[in-house]
Amino acid sequence: LLIDEPTNCLDLEAREAIGDYLKAKSGFILVSHDRDLLDKCTDHILSLGRSDTEIINGNYSVWKENFDRKEANELMRDKKLKSEIGHLKAAAERSKKWADTAESRKIGIDPTKTEKSLDRRAVEGAKAKAMMKRMKAVESRRQTAIDEKSELLKNRECIDTLKIPSIKAKSATVLSVQNLVPYYCDYCDNDNSNALCKPVSFTLSDGERLCLSGKNGCGKSTILKIIAGADISYSGSIAKAPGLKISVLPQDTNGLCGTLDEFSERLGVDAELVRAILAKLGFSRRELIGRTENLSAGQKKKVLIAGSLATPANLYIWDEPLNFVDIISRIQLERLLGANTPTMLLAEHDRYFCENTGTKRLYITKG
């Protein structure tokens, strides 16, 4: 049984059902970024890293424990390597200054001022020449050492840190939603028979992160679109803080096309910043210069994530940001939101992510 990312876009109930089913099975190969699923039904993890491949006897939690230990060791190694590279470069600079001084002394001898100057000049020249030869050999070995240590830094398996340019809102209450009900059609039936969900009410204060959950089709994405300003029929009230700037990360990636420069221009953000974020999210040089429509589903999602992270805003609205996204990038985003306090409204089915990043939870019930 070969299974490729079975839980993408599925709600929590469906994910749990798949986990229960696979837990009772044996002899399957599963490709998944769903950490809860991997914990529930796997007993071995094959991890494809940047520089190596390893098999762990255990589930995701066992792999994560090993990864954290490995990352801590590599961070210590990186610190040591950077220090050694700094010492080597400083030594190279001192050697260069000494060589320049020796050369100037050799040239500066004036044979007309004394009879011994000619002999001294020859001796000084021979000494300087021999010393320069030894220094070139030392410098060559030193540069080789610098190159080797720099290459080790490139091959590290540590998680790069992301940043988010969140702006503090002018009001303590960023968003207030009361009895919001989105509709299938452009009108409201008296009996609410065309309502997508039961009435939704919540307030979102500055620095809070509200995770919306619920079954597929209950209207989570529609609610996010309405709050972001989409022309969709609804009843209820929405009050936003004055001058509220919103950054939206949509669920759908099908509209992506063109280069990253063109994507950034349409979004009104710095293309170099978008590329820098994507490089931290694991993009290769080839992917950074290619066309976005040729990227994988996970890479397309990362482009949308980078676009949002490059946008200064008071409120970030993210609709299922983790679909198809790898585990390392999920951890990066969790660390980002844990280290910062952006105000965020998001719909997501990844239990780990919601528990690690959300400050509030709201379950949406179908109408």
> Which CATH number, 3.30.70.270, 3.40.50.300, 3.40.250.10, 3.20.20.60, labels domain 173-363?
3.40.50.300
CA separation for the pair 212, 14 (Å, rounded): 16
Q: What is the pLDDT of residue 127?
A: 63
CA separation for the pair 325, 287 (Å, rounded): 16
Which is more confident, 147 or 360? 360
> Is a pLDDT exceeding 90 seen at residue 149?
no
Q: Which of the four pLDDT bands, split at 50, 70 and 90, describes residue 47?
A: very high
Q: What is the pLDDT of residue 341?
A: 92
> Is a pLDDT exceeding 80 seen at residue 321?
yes
Which is more confident, 279 or 77? 279
Instruction: State mean pLDDT over 19-28.
Output: 94
Q: Which of the four pLDDT bands, split at 50, 70 and 90, describes residue 266?
A: very high
Q: What is the mean pLDDT of the chain?
A: 87
> Is a pLDDT exceeding 70 seen at residue 130?
no
CA separation for the pair 277, 161 (Å, rounded): 9
Q: What is the pLDDT of residue 86?
A: 76
Q: What is the pLDDT of residue 84?
A: 74
Lowest-confidence region among 76-85, 243-252, 284-293: 76-85
Q: What is the pLDDT of residue 209?
A: 98
Dmax over CA atoms of the chain, in Å, equals 117
So where are the chain's domains? 2-48, 77-154, 173-363
> Is a pLDDT exceeding 80 seen at residue 136?
no
pLDDT digits (tens, 9 = 90+) for 212-227: 999 999 999 999 999 9
Q: Which of the four pLDDT bands, split at 50, 70 and 90, describes residue 160?
A: confident
Share of the chain above pLDDT 90, in %: 68
pLDDT digits (tens, 9 = 90+) for 61-87: 999 999 999 888 888 877 777 777 777
Q: Which residues contact 149 (CB under 8 A, 6 or more apart)?
A: 81, 84, 85, 88
Note every long-range contact of 303-306, with CB atoms under 8 Å and residues 24 or more positions apart, other chains counting.
Answer: 303/253, 303/256, 303/260, 303/263, 303/274, 303/278, 304/249, 304/250, 304/253, 304/256, 305/249, 305/277, 305/281, 305/329, 305/333, 306/274, 306/277, 306/278, 306/281
Q: What is the pLDDT of residue 294?
A: 95
CA separation for the pair 317, 88 (Å, rounded): 48
Instruction: State mean pLDDT over 122-149.
Output: 66
Instruction: State mean pLDDT over 111-136.
Output: 59
